[in-house]
Amino acid sequence: MKDTFARIMDVLVETINFIVLSYLLCSAALSFNQSMLYILFFASAVWLTSKYWDRLKSLIMNQGIRVCVLMGSFLILVLIMYFGGYLSSTLASFRH
């Protein structure tokens, strides 16, 4: 029982972290879509997704549930991006 609760909490924390970090990386990629920095942010988002999938593999043994959690995370991310928009950012120099 304790092990199941701990796994559920781990999945919940990992999912929240994945959604927040993916939102920030997607926002950065969209902000710099005309720059070479786009490649860096996009590659980081792909890397984050693979790490999240590996973590889900270690926490959830049933592949069907694992896929549902991943798709649910993507759905939440898309809904946040659609209804909330993305954070617009620019490069700024430290010199005045």
What is the structure's pLDDT at 7? Answer: 93
∠ Cα 37 39 41 (to 5°): 70
Indicate the number of domains in the chain: 1
Whether residue 41 lies inside any domain: the answer is yes
Whether residue 30 lies inside any domain: the answer is yes
Whether residue 92 lies inside any domain: the answer is no
Whether residue 93 lies inside any domain: the answer is no
Whether residue 9 lies inside any domain: the answer is yes
CA distance 4 to 54: 18
CA distance 2 to 52: 23
pLDDT score of 87 more than 90: no
pLDDT in tens, 36-60: 989 999 999 999 999 999 999 999 9
CA distance 69 to 19: 12
More confident residue, 17 or 34: 17
pLDDT score of 90 more than 90: no
pLDDT score of 91 more than 90: no
Whether residue 48 lies inside any domain: the answer is yes
How many Cβ atoms sit within 10 Å of the Cβ of residue 32?
A: 18
**Domain limits for position 28:** 2-83
Whether residue 77 lies inside any domain: the answer is yes
